[in-house]
């Protein structure tokens, strides 16, 4: 099966499995999504969703968050890991949003990437899920599956993003990146399948005999 044929099959199969993939992080608006995505670094979405109700009860907008102490944020988000860095970033980015953007989250990926604690992936998620702009954020699941499915060599998440954007129509990106995440969690996890047993891996590579070693994101 050629790469373009694999891509077409994968998109069709994921549309069947996840016709309307929900956004996994619970949020109310662009600000709460931004904070939730920042918290999700090296943390599960499930854990983030357990922590954010208490955090957003304390402050659910940039103005309010800019006035709380880093220690208050730290005490709440500690279960998410990297709490010293994340609490500092949340308070400081809130101050920047108030000072430079009237408390709003900028609808601009370059501006988002200048905020403390916000890298390209986080900015891409916000552009996609908060504002609806086509983006293809690459997380560990997407990076792993792109390699198992022969869509990218996995040299870097930057390369994986470029390869996937080249293979799939722009209008599919926002749903597709969520669909791949859900499929990776449910059918092709890191410690299972190894490119041999899930439906998509077997269909794309029916003659594959050896487990696929993938590069980490």
Query: Which of the following is catalytic: 60, 86, 121, 163?
Result: 121
Which residue shows structure tokens 């997380």?
A: 139
DSSP 94-108: HHHHHHHHTTPPPS-
Number of folded domains that form the chain = 2
Q: What is the pTM of this model?
A: 0.94
Contact 24, 45 (CB under 8 A): yes
Query: Which of the following is catalytic: 45, 139, 162, 165?
Result: 139
* CATH number of the domain within which 159 lies: 1.10.1670.10
In a domain, residue 147? The reply is yes
Active site residue 121: yes
In a domain, residue 215? The reply is no
Contact 116, 89 (CB under 8 A): yes
Active site residue 95: no
In a domain, residue 161? The reply is yes
Range of the domain at 183: 3-21+136-204
User: What is the full per-residue pLDDT of the chain (217 aa) written as tens digits?
Assistant: 899 999 999 999 999 999 999 999 999 999 999 999 999 999 999 999 999 999 999 999 999 999 999 999 999 999 999 999 999 999 999 999 999 999 999 999 999 999 999 999 999 999 999 999 999 999 999 999 999 999 999 899 999 999 999 999 999 999 999 999 999 999 999 988 999 999 999 999 999 999 999 998 7
Exposure string over 164-174, b if 16+ CB within 10 A, otherwise e? beebbeeebbb
């Amino acid at each position: 099966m050629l790469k373009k044929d694999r891509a077409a099959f994968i998109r069709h199969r994921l549309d069947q499995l996840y016709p309307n993939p929900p956004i996994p992080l619970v949020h109310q608006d662009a600000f709460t999504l931004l904070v939730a995505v920042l918290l999700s670094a090296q943390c599960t979405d499930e854990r983030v969703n357990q922590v954010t109700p208490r955090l957003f009860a304390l402050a659910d907008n940039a103005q309010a968050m800019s006035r709380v102490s880093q220690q208050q944020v730290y005490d709440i988000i500690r279960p998410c890991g990297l709490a010293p860095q994340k609490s500092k970033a949340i308070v400081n980015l809130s101050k920047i949003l108030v000072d430079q953007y009237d408390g709003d989250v900028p609808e601009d990926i370059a501006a988002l990437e200048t905020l403390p604690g916000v890298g390209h992936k986080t900015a891409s998620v916000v552009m996609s899920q908060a504002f609806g702009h086509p983006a293809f954020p690459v997380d560990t699941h997407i990076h792993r599956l792109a390699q198992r499915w022969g869509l990218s060599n996995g040299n870097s998440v930057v390369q994986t993003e470029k390869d996937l954007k080249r293979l799939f129509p722009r209008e599919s990106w926002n749903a597709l990146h969520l669909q791949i995440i859900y499929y990776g969690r449910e059918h092709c996890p890191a410690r299972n399948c190894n490119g041999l047993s899930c439906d998509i891996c077997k269909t794309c590579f029916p003659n594959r005999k050896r487990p696929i070693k993938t590069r980490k994101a």
